Amino acid sequence: MVPVSAVGARGGSAPPRSNDPRPRLAQTLFGVEFQSPVLLASGTCGYGREYDGLIPLDRIGGLVTKAVSVEPRTGNPPHRIAETPAGMINAIGLHNVGLDRFISEKLPWLRDNLERARVFVNVVGRTVEDYAEVVSRLDVEEGFLGYEINVSCPNVKGGTMFGTDEAALAELVGRLRTCTERPIVVKLTPNVPDIGVFARLCEEEGADGLSAINTFPGMLIDVDRRRPVIGNVSGGVSGPAILPMGVYLTWRASRASSLPIMGIGGIRSARDALQYILAGASLVQVGTALFVDPSSAEAVHEGLEAHLERHAISSLTEMVGALELPAPPPPDAGTSG
């Protein structure tokens, strides 16, 4: 278990230099070393084992598991996924095996087969107590570092998403803080007027980090059938189309909070990842790109190494939040005399 006091600030710190002359992607965050800033995003890599043999998981930074809820969920009716011009739309419905089977069937593989990759368990629920039960029961287990809390879930009691209701979110994060000393990373929804307000709230309630961002709501229509393409009518849009929004909202969250951020949304290359990093993210998650090329996360890792070497940057930590904004114009700029 990682004590809260060990959690690093955003950007973390570079581990002590070794004799390896290559640029360092490693950072110390949440009290541990991440050998790479690149993780696999929840919902795109199953429970990790599904990618065994496809990519060397212990070479990248880690992964976030598929959602885990108290009870098994069968998810939404088909179609659940459809391609869009610059990404995809999905409405899986948080289909998962449930907490009991995750502990007995999925977690042992992560514990026994991953040595350096850091694992976060994505947690979902319908009530605060649902989330608390998952975290409390998992907390005695081994094989993972911390939790990514998916707050884009409807609150059964309140009828709104936890992630869009300040009071509901504060209650949830505060409650989970009493359940664990492991890192709690809140996955923010983009569907709020000011993401900075929610980033600050998470920090005030004891969260250790943020994931920015979850998918955007969207809809596709089959014009011949005059019906929605997705069985659930609407779904979450991901992929390259949301990259600019994800980078912007990561920047906004980083300006409002000192918590480490995992940037998510449309990352296909090292240059995509670097946009998030310059905007304030310490880690990044590759998701939809994995469906096109399972090796894309490893390619992002290698591309980051190459960028640092090419620009003679000794550590990735030098780039976290290093965005340079243009100077504001003088007060009388644009006025005529």
The b/e string for 197-226 (b: 16+ C-beta within 10 A; e otherwise) is ebbbbbbebebbbbbbbbbbebebeeeeee
Instruction: Determine what percent of the chain is predicted with pLDDT higher than 90.
Output: 87
CB 251 within 8 A of CB 279: yes
Q: Tell me which of 9 and 271 has the higher pLDDT.
A: 271
Can you tell me the distance from the alpha carbon of 177 to that of 203, in angstroms, rounded to the nearest whole number?
Answer: 11
* Cα(255)–Cα(78) distance, integer angstroms: 40
Averaged pLDDT for residues 227-240: 96
Please say whether the dihedral angle defined by the alpha carbons of residues 7, 11, 16 and 22, taken in this order, is positive or negative.
positive
In degrees and rounded to multiples of 5, residue 169 shows phi and psi of -65, -40
Q: Taking 70 as the threshold, does the pLDDT of residue 2 lie above it?
A: no
CA 177: distance to chain centroid?
Answer: 19
Between 336 and 196, the more confident residue is 196
Strands 87-90 and 81-84 come out as antiparallel
End-to-end CA distance of the chain: 66
Can you tell me the mean pLDDT for 196-218?
A: 97
Q: Which whole-number Å values give the CA distances from 77 to 71, 92, 103, 214, 236, in the listed order?
A: 18, 8, 26, 21, 15
Percent of the chain with pLDDT over 70: 91
Query: Which domains does the chain show, CATH number per domain?
Result: 4-318 (3.20.20.70)
Q: Is the pLDDT of residue 234 over 60?
A: yes
In this prediction the pTM is: 0.92
Residue 17 scores a pLDDT above 60: no
For the question of residue 179 being annotated catalytic, the response is no
Let me know: does 2 contact 181? Beta carbons within 8 Å: yes
Q: Which residue has the tokens 């350096």?
A: 116
pLDDT band per the 50, 70, 90 thresholds, residue 10: low
- For 148, the token pair is 């990514």
pLDDT at 189 over 60: yes
Residue given tokens 């990093």 in the structure block: 277
Average pLDDT score over residue span 252-265: 98
The residue annotated as part of the active site, out of 45, 153, 179, 202, is 153
What tens digit of pLDDT does each residue of 34-72 get?
Answer: 999 999 999 999 999 999 999 999 999 999 999 999 999
* Cα Rg of the chain (Å, integer): 20
Q: What is the rounded CA–CA span in Å between residue 270 and residue 43?
A: 21
For the segment 120-150, what is each residue's pLDDT rounded down to a tens digit? Answer: 999 999 999 999 999 999 999 999 999 999 9
Q: Would you state the pLDDT for residue 4?
A: 41
Strand runs labelled E in the chain: 27-29, 32-34, 38-40, 62-64, 81-84, 87-90, 118-123, 146-150, 184-187, 209-212, 216-218, 221-222, 227-228, 235-238, 261-264, 283-286
Tokens of 322: 């290093």
